[in-house]
Structures are given as C-alpha cells and as structure tokens.
Structure 1
C-alpha cells in the first residue's frame, strides 16, 4: 500500500538550507566523467567543497575525511568498482554518510549487479529516476540508458520497499520528486523541463543529496531540501530563458543566489 505523499513546504526547507550554508560540507564525489565539472560547480555555488578522489587507496582514505561521499556509476569500469567499494567500506566504518546514484541500473549487467552489491553497505540515501529505482527494487528492466521510461510516481511503491529493505532513504527524480524512508513520503514540486536538456543536473542532484545528508536533524527533510534547492534553481533559471545553454549558466547563478539569501 502506497503512503499518500505529503507536500514538502518552503517553510520546512528554509531552515535546512540556512543550516547548510552556515556549515558547508566537504563532499567526496566519485562520479562519472561526463558530469564532474557540473557537479563541482553546483556544490561550489552552494558553498560546499567538492573533491574527486578516485585512486583505490586514496579514495578509501579520503572517504573518512569527507563529510559525505557520492557514488555515481555513470561511467563505471571494473577498476572503478574496486575503488568505489573501498571508499564505501571506509565511509561505512567511519559513519560517513554516502549516497548511491544508480545511473542506468537495470539496463546493463555490470552496474546493476554492482549497485545491488553496494546496497548491502547501507547508503544514507539512493537517488535515481523512476526506471532506475524500479530496477534496483527488481520491479523493472531499467530505462533507456540514463533516460527514464516511467514517471516518478510509478516508482513510489518500489522506493518505499527499497527504503524499508535497506533501511535507507530513496529519492525519485521526475516532474515531481519524491523522498521516502518507507514510512513517510514527501513530494517536492518545482523544477523545469529544461533541466532534462542540460548534462548533469540529475547527477549533480545526487551530490547535493549527499551534501545535505551530512547535516544534523531529520534526514528525510534534509534530502527533500536537497531536491527543493535544485528545483527552485530550475524554476528561477527557466523564468529568464527558454534555451538550454543559457539555462545552464543561470541555473548555477540561481543556486548561488539561494545560498546568499540563506546566509543573510
């Protein structure tokens, strides 16, 4: 039975963003090669500090120093599997929150099997599109590469079951974002269709989710706030342009402006 999602309000979001910008985290991003620059710029715009350490030994060492770890399997190789697993194990031992972005899970065997292996290491959160979440929950075959084949609400029950099974949070991205711990589900409105025409917004969201997981307080609200800060940036950027190239720049500016407003 699906719990009725509760809207996440800006009144709940504002204090979380304020806490975030006043104690910005160091985020270890083991992410795909396509989105490294975008991911770093998104975190920097929010005053967080990105780092991208990928060597097996260094990744494990750095995972204990960072405030949060992101594992994004977008450009996965067998060598990267080993480095990522070493970092996740070190993060787990150090109680550093880490987030899984299961890019294209279900569509390809190596990454799908690896993501299931990682789930046993207790991620603080999983962030993916509906097709990826359905595949992780073994309820679907995945999407068309990185593109979802399903609306976000189609994965609500799968997300709830995945959250309960692995004692984690699951965030589903789409026209409406949903965040669930298996018992309670929050819906996050906003964003822009232009976000799907710019490389890296979803992957960058996963890095922001990781960053917000480092905050004290209610993690469900913290992850919903990560989704909302990105959605608001999309809204603000889209209000000024209808072209993706300009949108990409305005999107970073909109994140920066939100951070500045929260610091005031």
Structure 2
C-alpha cells in the first residue's frame, strides 16, 4: 500500500487548481460544523454556500462545481426529503458529490434509512470514521458520532465497500485510508487536537467536495485528506490547546 504525503506533486497541483478555479461548493451540514466547514473552504480558495433555504436543494446542486451532504444536517433545518432532493439534483446534473453519513449505525434506524437511500444517488466520495464505514458495510456502528474502531481495523472494509458501491471510500483516523476498490492508499499526519475540535471531521467532507470540483474522485479524496493532515500537523505543532488549534488550523489551510 502506498503512503501519500504533502510531498506528492499531484496533491500540490490539485490544491493549486482549487485556488485558481475557486469552485462554488454547495453543502448541507449541521449548525455545529458549518462555520469551520465554510472557513476551511474559503481558506483553500473555494466559495461555499450552505443550507436548505426554500428552493436551494432543487437548484444549487445543479449550478455548483461540487456538493457535500452531511447526514447531521438533519439536526438543523434540513429534512430527509431535502437531502434526497439535493442528491438527486446533483446526480441529474452530473455534479460530483460527497456523502458524510455521520453517526450511521449508531442506533437510529430511521436515520440510517435516509443515509442508505442517499447511496442510490451515486455519491462520488463517501467519507467517515471507522465505525460509520463499518456500519455502511453491514457491521456494527459506533457510539453516537464517535468511532469505536481504529481506521486500521477497516482497511479491507474500505476497499470492499468502494468496489461494491462504485465510489471512492475514505476513512479518517490516526492514519486515513482511501480506496476506489482497486487502489488503496494511506495518508498519515494530522494532530491529536483534531478529534477534540467540533466540526473537523464534518469539514473534511466539504474539503473533499472542493477537490472533487477540480479532479477525479480518487485523486480528490487523496488530496483532501493529505491537505487536511498536513495543515493539522502544522497547526498542532504550534498550538497550546484546542482553542488555539482551531484558529491555527484554518491559518495553515490558507498558508499551504
């Protein structure tokens, strides 16, 4: 298995493309993660618009360069129908989109049904923690939004799920793993502060969408995770706690 880091020329070229093209990214996410998600996109050079205002889910995905749907947006103002409408609109328009099935498999069957229904609209990238990926593959889920598994425990599951769904699947953890069912790569880095700052996982879905706007799904997921890990590692090295890390992390995304 190859290991990809910030030294990779393709990753750097993809980041340059995001900065040059400034893609419009539409997303549905929860109120807790929206601020960091928007700031992460802006730091990379993308233009975000979030929310399920009347008519948005039926129109914005068609005009966007990339879309991300975070399942926890259902805790805000979005409805299951709006999530499905956004996914269907993106699929019909040929807009690539990212699914982040937050807390799937954690004991809420009605919610899990919505996440499963979204898969029918062919997300280009599915990203989550180890328990979420395991649950999508038919295994046990985690505890609320937290994973009870390490990313290294689901490497084979990531590849199998990618092959089964015809999508790139990415799992985040101390080491991230990304697979399209044929190729699987590892992405090390990040910081121990990251799981302790609200929205860092959810924002990664938004960043995946930004890269998805400028390259193919596999390279997009790899670049997004590498950039995130590199910025997290740099921010962690100069932070004294979670508050300073949150600010430093956005700084490092913009400085890459």
TM class, shorter-chain normalised? over 0.9
- Once residues 203 and 34 of structure 1 are traced to their aligned partners in structure 2, the CA distance between those partners, rounded to angstroms, is 9
TM-score (norm 2): 0.95
Which whole-Å deviations, capped at 9, do the CAs of 1:48-83 have from their partners, x for residues lacking one? 101013035321111101111111011426961111
Mapping 1:82-231, distance limit 5 Å:
82-107=81-106, 108-140=108-140, 142-216=141-215, 218-231=216-229
Write out per-residue CA displacement over residues 191-244 of structure 1, whole angstroms, 9 at most, x where no aligned residue.
Answer: 00100111001000010001111113x431221110011111111111112300
RMSD: 1.4
Unaligned runs of 5+ in 2: none
Q: Secondary structure at the match of 2:248?
A: helix
Is contact 2:52-2:78 (8 Å) kept?
A: no
Task: Kindly indicate whether the alpha-carbon contact (under 8 Å) linking 1:53 and 1:62 is maintained by their aligned counterparts in 2.
Answer: no
Cα separation, 1, equivalents of 2:82 and 2:189: 36
> Hey, what does 1:35 align to over in structure 2?
33
- Contact 1:194–1:242 (8 Å) recurs in 2: no
| Structure 1 residues 165 and 56, CA gap change in structure 2 (3 angstroms) | farther
Greater mean alpha carbon deviation, residues 126-135 or residues 159-168: 159-168
**Contact 1:35 / 1:199 at 8 angstroms: preserved in 2?**
yes
Separation in structure 1 between the aligned mates of residue 39 and residue 168 of structure 2, nearest angstrom:
25
Tell me: CA distance 1:79–1:246, structure 2 relative to 1, closer, same or farther (3 Å): closer
1:157, 1:98 → 2: CA distance? Answer: 24
| Aligned mates of 1:67, 1:87 — CA distance in 2 | 13
Distance in 1, matches of 2:27 and 2:179, equals 23
- Contact 1:238 1:247 (C-alpha < 8 Å) held by counterparts: yes
2:2 to 3, 6, 13: 6
Provide Cα deviations, 1:175-201, integer angstroms capped at 9, x if missing partner. Answer: 000110011001111100100111001
Q: Say if 1:28 and 1:68, in contact at 8 Å, map to a contact too.
A: yes
Gaps of 5+ in 1: 259-264
SS across alignment from 1:64: helix
Contact residue 29 and residue 51 of structure 2 kept, 8 A: no
Post-superposition CA distance 1:12-70 (Å, at most 9, x none):
32112112211121110101111111111111111110101303532111110111111
Query: Which ranges of 4 or more aligned residues in structure 1 deviate by more than 3 Å?
Result: none
For 2:233 and 2:64, how far apart are their aligned partners in 1? Answer: 31
